[in-house]
Structure 1
Amino acid sequence: MTGPLVSVVVCAYTEDRWEDILAAVASVRGQSRPALETLLVIDHNPALLERLGARYKGTAGVRVLANAGPRGLSAGRNTGIAAARGEVIAFLDDDAVAERDWLLRLAAHYADPRVMAVGGRTEPVWASGRRPVWFPEEFDWVVGCTYRGQPRGIARVRNVLGGNASFRRSAFDAVGGFATGIGRDGDRRPLGCEETELCIRLARALPDAVLLLDDRAVIHHRVPAPREHFAYFRTRVYAEGLSKALVSRSVGAAKGLESERRYATRVLPAAVARGLRDAALTRPGGAARAGAVVAGVLTAAGGYVVGSVRARRGGTTFPAQPVGTGRP
C-alpha cells in the first residue's frame, strides 16, 4: 500500500446507536484501502465503553478508548488524535457508513504536501425512507449531510465537515486540536462548527495550506425520525446561529462568516424562488420548502444575535486545544 497511513476516529456516546456504531466500524474495516487502525472514542459512558471494549476485544486494528477530556465531541476527537498513529487522521460519524472507496479517495490527495485536510460527500438516509417534502436540500447540513450549494467534484473549500473529514497529522501539530467550547456536548443544544473554527485557524497558521472537498469520498448518514420534523430543524438552525457567533468571536467575523455570506445571498434566495415556482406548478412541498428556507434564515440570524451578545458579555474565546501524539 502506497501513500500515508490513515487512522480513523469514530466518536460515540450512546448505546441507542449500538447497531449504527457496529455498522460504522464494519464499513471502515471493509475499505478497499485499509485503515491503519480504527479508534472508537466513547464520551463519558462507562456502560458503552465496557460493552464496546468486550465486543472488539482481540479484534486487530480496532481500539476502544474513553474520552480523556471534558464531555463533548471536540474533546472526543482530540482524544482520538492523541492516540492515533497514522500520518492522516480521518473522522467518521458513529451513525454513518462509508462506501468502500472512501479512504482511497481521501488519502489520494495527500500526495500533494500542501494538502492539510480533505472532506467528502455525506448522503442522508431518511428514517421514513424518503426526504420530507418540506425539507429543503439547501439545509441538509441540519442533519449533518452535504447540502445544495456546496461545491461539486474536487474543489478547494474554507472548511470540511467533521463527520466525513480527514486531516494531516501535522495540521494538529501546527494549530492544536478542536476547540472544546464549540460543538456537540452530549444531550445539550445541538451546537456545531468546531471543524469550521479549526480549519480557519489552520489556514491562518499555514497560509499555503490546501483544504479540499472530494465528493467521490461518500458516506451515508442515518437521519432518525425525530430529526425529520420541523421542531428539530428549528432547534438545530438556531444552534447553528449560536455556534457561528462563537466562531466569529474566536477567529473574527470576516473569516467566520465568509462562506455563509455567499450561501445567504445566492444559494438561499434561489431556493426560495425554486420553492415558489414549484408551488405555482402545484408540485408537492414547494411552498413549504420556501417557507422553511425563510424560517431557517430568520432563526439562524436570531441565534447569531443572541450568541454574539453572550460572547461579548462573557469575553469568550476558544484557543487551540493541545493534543498529544500517539506516535511511538
Structure 2
Amino acid sequence: MCAKDEAQDAEGLRDDPVLNRVGQDAPGDKLPSERTLSSELDIGRTALRQVLAQLANERFINAHDRSTCRVSGGSGVPTPSDLPAWQIHGSRRIYENRWVNLDLVDVEPPCVERFEHHVVRLHHVAITAVVDDQNRVLMLWRYRFVPQQWGWELPGGIVDAGEDPAATAARETEEETGWRPAKVEHVVTYQPMIGMVDSPHGIFVARGATHVGEPTDAEEAGHVAWVPLDEIPGLMSEGKLMSSGTIVALLQPLSPRPTAARQAVPHAGDTAWTPCGSPPALPSEGGFAPGPTRRVQGGPGIGRSALPRWLARTMGRYC
C-alpha cells in the first residue's frame, strides 16, 4: 500500500548519514554548477536538470537565474526592530456572557491621540484537516445562518478550559464526523480578525482516521464526506469553503512539503509507476524515456558538500 511504501522509504532515509546532516549545513549555500554536478555524479545534464527542477518545485532549493541555485532558507525575511508599538493604558468590559465578551481598550498609537477601541474576545478554537491515504480530506457540508449559506468546513470547536488544543482537535473531529483521527499535529495558531477580534485558531493535521460510529454532536454535525484534495481549489474558487480556519488548515496538505510524495529521475527502460497521490512522471527530454515516479525526501539546509552525495544516493536508490 502507498502509506506502507512511504513509511518504509522514510525509515530508510532517516538512517542515511547524509540526510542526517540536513539542517547542519548553512542554508543559503550556492550549489555547484550543472557541469560540476554532472561530472561528480557521472550523470547526464537532462537527468540532473529534472532532479534540480523537482527540488526547486518542492522548495528545497531556490533558482535565482539559469545558472545559480541556492539551498532554501538562507536569507530569511528581515524583521524591523525599531518601530514603536501601540501603548495600552487600560481596558473595561462592557458586555460579557458565556460565548462572547466585548471590551473597550484605551489605546494610543504612535503619533496619534488616545482613543477607545472595541475588542471582541472569543474562545480559543481548534480545527483539524484529516487526510487519508487516498489524498482525501474529511469535511462537513453545513448550513451557517450568519451568512445564510451552505458550504464545506473542516471539523473543529472550542478548546475547553484546561484542555490541550490537540485533544480538542481530536475530540471535535470524532464528535462531529464519527471518525477518530490518528495522531494530530499542530501546524500554526493564528488570529482570523486580528484588528478587532481576539480568537486564537489552532490548526492541526492528521494522517488517517478510524470510523467509530455516527456523529454525536447534533448541533454541529452536517453531511460528512471525504473530499479529494484535488477538488479543493475548485471549491475555493466557487466560494464553497466558508471559514478562514478551513482555508488556512487546507493550505498545509495542499502545499509541497518534505513528507509528501516526490518525483525523482525517469530512467531509460523502466516502466512508469505512480504511487497514490503522486504527480505524473516528468516528460521525456532529448530521448530520455519516462520512468518511475518515486519519492525523494530531504529538506532545506542541505549544504554544498552534502547535496551531490544526496543526489547520487537518490538516483542510485530509485533509478
> Under a length normalisation based on structure 1, what TM-score does the superposition of the two structures give?
0.21
More helix by share: 1
